Structure 1
Amino acid sequence: MFKMYFLCGIIERGRVMEQISLFKLIIVGVPETTLNLLIGLVLCRDNVKKDWKSFIFKMVASIIVILITIYFARREFKNVTLLAGTITLIYVIIFKIIWEMNFRQSILSGCSTMFLLCCLETITLPLYNKFLQSMRFADIFDASILFSPFLRLLHIIFFLILTKWNLRNNEVISGKWSKQNKHSKFAIIIIIFSILWCMISMLNYIDLNYRIALFKEDTSFLVGNMKIFFWMTVWFFVFLLVLLYYIFNFLDTQKMFDISLEEILSTAGEELSKEEIKGYIEILQQKYNEKGGK
């Protein structure tokens, strides 16, 4: 999608190029969007096959909304990061409203779907550039059509992997938010922000590469991209530190009890209030720390 956005789409040395038609967008966009939705669904949501008529209707409606959004967003945004951010938001909204996911599932599915797409675009970017240089195309869009099946094959491989390893039965993702402990809440929030940060980094990389290709004489625009790289690196490092803190804290608590925290809370929750459980855990944690964590 992002290769098509730059090479088919907007600017070439200050001269406006022909906007891609909705028909051309459908040719490449329908298979890509379908796989994106399937990946998001298989990653976090259970029982999407109960009613096939409802499933097909929701899938068609989701694809139409996403493609229309892409079509108009491409006309407004000249920056791939803004375009991807808008599309990510639409995926999150669709997973929440149309597919009836909770907020954690919809945000994680939407972000992960776009993150995977960005990964594929970034990894295959050098190969795509060689593909363009080795063949002559009357229309650059023809190159995107010919290269698209290779990307969709990679997409399918990831989809098959996620059908076996996914988060559909993860209580932190699918359970009620009110029943999650403090560490789980902070961990999922930081993970989502980390995924967004990685995605924006790759988008900035793609943006930078194509801008260099289109504007070889003038590199003054690189200042903005380099500032983004710097601040994203700094804040991503901070995110990782905080994430590690909560992960180690959570694992430390599990080690102390030698059974899962979910089993403890499900058992104690029948007899004790949340405040009482929290008080006992803090006492045990303090005793554990006093003994040196052995």
Structure 2
Amino acid sequence: MSETVELFEVGPRDGLQNEKALISAQDKIALVNLLSTAGFTRIEVASFVSPKWVPQMATSAEVLAGIARAPSVSYAALTPNMRGFDGAMSARADEVAIFGSASEGFSKANINASIADSLERFAPVAAAAKAHGIPVRGYISCTINCPYDGPTSPEQSARIAKALHDMGCYELSLGDTTGHAYPDEITAMLRAVKAAAPKAKLAGHYHDTSGRALANIEASLAEGVRVFDTSIGGLGGCPYAPGALGNVATESVAARLETLGYTTNLNPAVLERAAKMALGLRGKGQGDV
């Protein structure tokens, strides 16, 4: 039997958050509803951050309230602080995520806090999630390099990974935020993280700026990683990482994994329709299904 690799769909949040033209809650709901039929077990749909900084996510509560929830899917939301966590709970998010950085420059640009301050801010969120029986996931940005600070050492990424794992994150999503990493750099980072937090469940979150995301996924597979964050249609990027383009496309990763002999349990026809819809939301396609 083929080994299964899970793709965590982040398009409705990470894919759309950087779009300048506001997308209606109804269009986001339609995209999530279609993705919910593709075979995913986790879809990230919302972010409870200040709409002042991320206007596209201002409708997050409306989206979570309006989607047709599939019983087999966990619907996730980003929660940078307790206010965000409370919003996610009110909107009935199934799980939440906290998002830190392995570089000081990006931490300050992204969430206006040092790494140390960000970890202090996340601790009560993780504790509250545990008290509510809500899974909490940890994102780590700039695990390879930073647009402000330059290269990130594997040991620094490992230190942050251990801190979030010790805080109670059930999974750590390790990000190549700028999308410039090479496979050997991914390998070195993963080995450092596995040594520092050997019991942690790891996921790869690789942007495709330099066209190496698929190669970096293959390097991660060799290190035992079996979860990858992907965005339908390759939408995304980060407003605080200048020059970083989109996430790696879900449909491309699914196809490559099948070629390599892995199973994703995803429906390629639905992925194709969802990619067309997602690209249509930003004016690159017809947007029909």
Report the TM range for the smaller structure's normalisation. under 0.3
Q: TM-score, normalised by structure 2?
A: 0.25
Q: TM-score, normalised by structure 1?
A: 0.25
Q: Normalized per residue, which structure has more strand?
A: 2
